[in-house]
Chains A and B, each alone.
Chain A
Amino acid sequence: MSEEQLYSVSSSPHVHSGASIHGIMRDVVIAMVPTFIAAIIFFGLNALILTATCVISCVFFEYLSRRIMKRNNTINDLSAVITGVLLAFNLPPTFPIWMAVVGSFVAIVIAKQLFGGLGYNPFNPALAGRLFLFLSFAFAMSGDWTPWSYINTENIVATTSATPLGMLQESTGSIAFLSNNSNIMNMFLGKVNGCIGEVSALALILGGLYLLWRKVITWHIPVAYIGTVAVFATILYMIDPSTNASPLFHLFSGGLMLGAIFMATDMVTSPTDRSGMLVFGIGCGLLTMIIRKWGAYPEGVSFSIFIMNATTPLINRVCKPRVFGVKGKA
């Protein structure tokens, strides 16, 4: 017998830690506030309308599908709100409203409720919605990147330009300008083109720190994810700086921060054990960099997290958490 029982569990009543789905989801909503504010600063009313549309339609579809399926009402646990906000964060600012509603429908009804609701969904609903929109309405999803701050200036011509990663993908000449300090700083603060919630790395990191402090997430997935991307990008940069962007560029561009902090850490669709989380994060990082470097799409965060979501049951099978109160491997 390698297992040794250290604690014996007495019969109820037990002390409740106070954790609840509602509480956790509330913390996540609070953590997304800085990003939301940044989105409104950079993209103005468009961001507000998009987010409101996604949240309202997500909650509505959640209510409707639970009602039709004759299950208890779950809109009070705020998970639909989070799905809506995350989906909106993954959309470009000039995205048509009706497409956002379609995305919410796919996210809530197809990716979540048809699988049994919160806790049973194999894939992150917001990611499923985003990928559906991305693959369906490719033009609208990658067409007009129009930051509000640029509209206000006179330089209207520059309003529809590519995202940093888009530039990297399409560039044929020198890409050194992408890696200079002022560009990196802009990307860190969020003064670039992109989806409304992914541009400001600063705001996202603030939210992530809040989640860490509230112990809603652990450091394993974000650190493994971002660390893998950093290492991979550094190696590429050291091999050939003229065709590869700097590691800092890769860290602050695209949806990496949003994905690593808010999407990959989704409790339902990520492994339960810490070592499993590390595997999950490293897998996400590798896939992201492979898609960015060699793939047909400029950005690979959503694809990589989606693929790793599918492998989560396998990771869980290998990396099992230690049973509380038992010494040795359980």
Chain B
Amino acid sequence: MALIQIREALRQAMQEEMRRDKDIFLMGEEVAHYNGAYKVSQGMLEEFGEDRVVDTPISEGGFAGLGVGAAMAGMRPIIEFMTWNFSLVAFDQVVNSAAKIYQMSGGQYSIPIVFRGPNGTAENLGSQHSTSVDSLYAHFPGLKVVTYATAYDAKGLLKAAIRDPNPVVFLESEMTYGVKGEVPDEEYVIELGKADIKRAGKDVTLITWGKQLFNVQNAAEQLAAQGIDAEIVDLRSLRPLDHETIFNSVVKTGRCVISHEGFLYAGVGAEIAARIQEACFDVLEAPILRVANRDVPQPYATNLEQLVNPTPERIINTVRQVMER
């Protein structure tokens, strides 16, 4: 095992896959000579050269479309968005091209492409750089939507995403690129669509994904001190969704709180709550509650931002409401 930063885990995933398969290339703004806006691709230009680690103009719609075309013609592009906020000018290419070409062509062209980059809030970046795009992309059949919290998951999931024959939206976080975690020395791949129980518990199921896991873990530890034993389900994949792990946990605990970044309104948490009540209505001891960003564009000022974010304190208060029913 090695203790490495998440950015290194992501880099290792890309390097190992690119050594294995010459059709894989990384393309995006500042990925080559600048070594990545967040240094995820540090040193990759040196190893793979300019044909496989490619700087682009500021042209997200253009190079996202280039990636899709290259995938149609047999390559396996990794397209980096400097942040997923910028993907919205490429939304059409992800949704109307990448997600639909396999279907529109009657299965003739698969689109093995990974779109990756940081998602969600960081700190004091203002509203245009703080969007969580989870629900936007999870809405569409034809896409897979994958995210992680730990270095181990980051590496194993990115390798699986690169090998997948379908377009994968891979959500990272600039806040956690420097977070360290244990990663095995030997090669491993984590199957897409499998949630992971990050903490076993019996009283309440806490469902989360992405870096929000850290807030949920923080809350669970404080709840444990108060005698509430929470189980944490880290989804890791929003599409496909691991119904089995979710339902098994809720059947065990009878209570559920879903916590994620982004907004409650038409968010992924709403979808999961709907599915749980469809499948587990008879075992629920309390309504399913959700904790996410407050329903406003992200403010800049630190005090306001903290008020908006789904903090451990808000999670704890919400869990207590669920427990007291």
Do these two chains interact?
no
**Chain A interfacial positions (CB closer than 8 Å to B):** none
